[in-house]
Amino acid sequence: MTLTQLQQAIEQAFAAGQAAIGNDNAMNAFLELRTALERGEVRAAAPDASAPTGWRVNAWVKQGILLGFRLGALADSSAGSLSFVDKHTYPVRRFVAADGVRMVPGGSSVRAGAYLARGVVCMPPMYVNAGAWVDEGTMIDSHALVGSCAQIGKRVHLSAAAQVGGVLEPVNASPVVVEEDVLIGGNAGVYEGTIVRRSAVLAAGTILTRGTPVFDLVNGTVLRATAERPLIIPENAVVVPGSRAVAKGKGHPSSDSWGLSLYAPVIVKYRDEKTDLSTTLEDLLR
């Protein structure tokens, strides 16, 4: 069916609720969507210059992903002596050499419905959830997570234990977006629809959520999410973990103060040639 027909079929099956369970048309529509997601023909969110954030959410695609969970039945998906049980609609993806994805042995997993482009490197153990998009040349390092519907651009490095959260519900909510050439340090976390613009660097341990204010020392501004917009990290920004003093209660600077401070990510500079030189090792690892 055409993309328009697929969208209509998904929306109709999703609106049917529990009545869609056992319906062959609903299952066929979901399976067609899952295949299109894995081929990169559709995605949960896509670049759109006319949108306020530069990204457009495809709510019907997220509806289709949720539909797959509704239609799925628990099934044994064990491998050898390892026991696994999951919805039969979301088996583990399998890759062949012709796919151009480097899946290094050691316990990694990519769920059906996720797109991995040619040149992606998966270092074990790592995990990519359904609906995620991982573009060309990206490295997903050990213990890293790409959550459901997360959008990862070209040549991104997700360092060891980096976490990119998923945003599947509500269906109209923007997922986490990491644009091209971003470096995310070890144990960093990006959650709740945050957008990281191209060529930004998140130092190890940096945590970004919708409720996290980011202090831009270069421009003297504070970046925050609003009701209409997620937290957005600017292009080329270099963000490090910082702290700010608590000025109320026992945090107030006085003789009986507890000397408390709160976590506060800080933009300390914007990426330049020196910063780029320090990240050239990424190219050698691919």
Taking only the tens place, the pLDDT of each residue in 4-34 is: 999 999 999 999 999 999 999 999 999 999 9
The pLDDT of residue 172: 86
Write down the H helix ranges in the chain: 3-15, 24-39, 59-71, 273-278, 281-285
Higher-pLDDT residue of 259, 123: 123
Q: With respect to residue 15, please indicate whether it lies within any of the assigned structural domains.
A: yes
Distances (CA, A) of 111 to 16, 27, 57, 178, 248: 25, 18, 21, 20, 46
Distances (CA, A) of 58 to 112, 175, 199: 19, 10, 25
Q: Residues 64, 117: one domain?
A: no
Q: Band of the pLDDT at 217, cuts 50, 70, 90?
A: very high
Other beta carbons less than 10 A from residue 216's beta carbon: 18
Q: With respect to residue 28, please indicate whether it lies within any of the assigned structural domains.
A: yes
What is the phi/psi pair of residue 173, to 5°? -85, 140
Q: Residues 36, 101: one domain?
A: no
DSSP bridge pairs for 76: 85
Q: With respect to residue 173, please indicate whether it lies within any of the assigned structural domains.
A: yes
Q: With respect to residue 18, please indicate whether it lies within any of the assigned structural domains.
A: yes
Mean of the per-residue pLDDT values for the chain? Answer: 93
Q: Residues 118, 218: one domain?
A: yes
Q: Band of the pLDDT at 150, cuts 50, 70, 90?
A: very high
Whether residue 83 has pLDDT greater than 80 = yes
Q: Residues 132, 238: one domain?
A: yes
Q: Band of the pLDDT at 237, cuts 50, 70, 90?
A: very high
Whether residue 286 has pLDDT greater than 60 = no
Q: Residues 130, 18: one domain?
A: no
The pLDDT of residue 250: 64
Spatial separation of the C-alpha atoms in residues 87 and 106, rounded to whole Å: 23
Residues whose CB is less than 8 angstroms from the CB of residue 55 and which lie 6 or more positions away in sequence, other chains included: 45, 46, 47, 48, 151, 174, 177, 195
Q: Residues 263, 143: one domain?
A: yes
Helix, strand, coil: what percent of the chain each, to 5?
A: 20, 25, 50
Q: Residues 233, 147: one domain?
A: yes
**Which residue range forms the structural domain that includes residue 31?**
3-47+57-73
Instruction: For residue 176, give the nearest of 196, 202, 201 by alpha carbon.
Output: 196
Higher-pLDDT residue of 253, 257: 257
Q: Residues 249, 149: one domain?
A: yes
Q: Residue 244 is encoded by which pair of tokens? A: 């700010």
What is the domain-level CATH number for residue 199?
2.160.10.10
Q: With respect to residue 84, please indicate whether it lies within any of the assigned structural domains.
A: no
Q: Residues 39, 154: one domain?
A: no
The pLDDT of residue 251: 62
Whether residue 179 has pLDDT greater than 80 = yes
* Portion of the chain with pLDDT greater than 70, in percent: 93
Whether residue 284 has pLDDT greater than 90 = no
Say how many domains are in the chain.
Answer: 2
Q: Residue 168 is encoded by which pair of tokens? A: 């599947």
